[in-house]
């Protein structure tokens, strides 16, 4: 099972651009109704390792629907949106949910309980996560963040998040937490905290989990609002 197959059950069943014929889907490697590969996979596509049958010149109708899915244009707009590229999302047997950063944070911190699901979070809105997002079963908690599959083990997430959040709420900016590149005035202001945090973060800061959790940390406006409501 792939994320494409999960998503295909929940995108609109639009008519393909040509009459389907039985063939091998280059994306899924399955034999089913297909159309010409050019309708979903362009010649400029170079990640052939993501295709299960890269030599096939056919793409299944369901994979085509996922890879080209576009919403109806809003009033005054010429084109619709491609939400599977432009948004973070989670798909499960109940459907597709398009997520904000706060939604992703909630799912990562609380854990996902769907029996079968795939999730994608992005900051660049340039890649089609459906080709890379792993499908989770049981207790698995793997997310695709940008191009990295991140194992969001519940115990490790809880431990790392508490340390990262302490640094963030104390006033360490997210870019500093991300790079560990701190100026002298800021270090002096938070010297005791930084002396604890930096040795813990140094061997971890280039890991995919650290980068994912850092992305999910609250921004300045959220911290301000939280302080105002306290």
The pLDDT of residue 220:
86
pLDDT digits (tens, 9 = 90+) for 78-101: 888 889 988 899 999 999 999 999
The pLDDT of residue 227:
66
Q: Give whole-number Cα distances, 116 to 55, 121, 134, in Å.
A: 30, 17, 10
Dihedral in degrees, nearest 10, Cα atoms 84, 86, 92, 96: -90
CA dist., res. 58 & res. 61, Å (int): 9
Q: Which residue has the tokens 């989670």?
A: 90
The pLDDT of residue 68:
95
Residue 210 has pLDDT above 60, yes or no: yes
Write out the two tokens for 11.
């995108």
Angle of CA points 133, 157, 192, to nearest 5° = 135
The pLDDT of residue 228:
58
Q: Which helix (H) or strand (E) holds 114?
A: none
- Helices first, then strands: H and E counts in the chain: 10, 9
Q: Which residue has the tokens 């302490």?
A: 166
The pLDDT of residue 144:
97
CA dist., res. 142 & res. 118, Å (int): 8
pLDDT digits (tens, 9 = 90+) for 15-35: 999 999 999 999 999 999 999
Q: Which residues, 6+ apart, have CB-to-CB distance to 197 below 8 Å?
A: 163, 166, 167, 172
pLDDT digits (tens, 9 = 90+) for 42-78: 888 889 999 999 999 999 999 999 999 999 888 888 8
Residue 230 has pLDDT above 50, yes or no: no
Q: Are 61 and 13 in contact (CB under 8 A)?
A: no
- E-strand ranges in 101-190 read 116-121, 136-137, 142-145, 148-151
């Amino acid at each position: 099972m792939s994320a494409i197959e999960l998503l295909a059950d929940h995108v609109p069943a639009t008519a393909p651009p040509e009459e389907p014929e039985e063939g091998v889907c280059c994306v899924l490697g399955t034999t089913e109704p297909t159309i010409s590969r050019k309708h979903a996979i362009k010649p400029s596509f170079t990640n052939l390792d993501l295709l299960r049958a890269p030599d096939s010149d056919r793409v299944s109708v369901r994979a085509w629907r996922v890879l080209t899915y576009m919403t109806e244009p809003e009033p005054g707009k010429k084109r619709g949106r491609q939400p599977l590229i432009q948004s973070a999302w989670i798909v499960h047997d109940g459907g597709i949910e398009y997520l904000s950063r706060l939604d992703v944070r909630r799912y990562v911190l609380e854990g996902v309980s769907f029996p079968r699901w795939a999730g994608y979070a992005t900051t660049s809105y340039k890649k089609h996560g459906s080709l890379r997002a792993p499908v989770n079963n049981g207790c698995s908690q793997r997310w695709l963040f940008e191009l990295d599959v991140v194992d969001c083990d519940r115990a490790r997430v809880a431990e790392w998040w508490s340390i990262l959040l302490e640094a963030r709420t104390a006033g360490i900016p997210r870019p500093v937490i991300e790079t560990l590149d701190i100026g002298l005035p800021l270090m002096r202001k938070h010297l005791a905290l930084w002396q604890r945090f930096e040795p813990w973060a140094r061997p971890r800061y280039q890991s995919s989990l650290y980068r994912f959790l850092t992305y999910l940390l609250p921004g300045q406006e959220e911290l301000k609002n939280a302080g105002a409501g306290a």
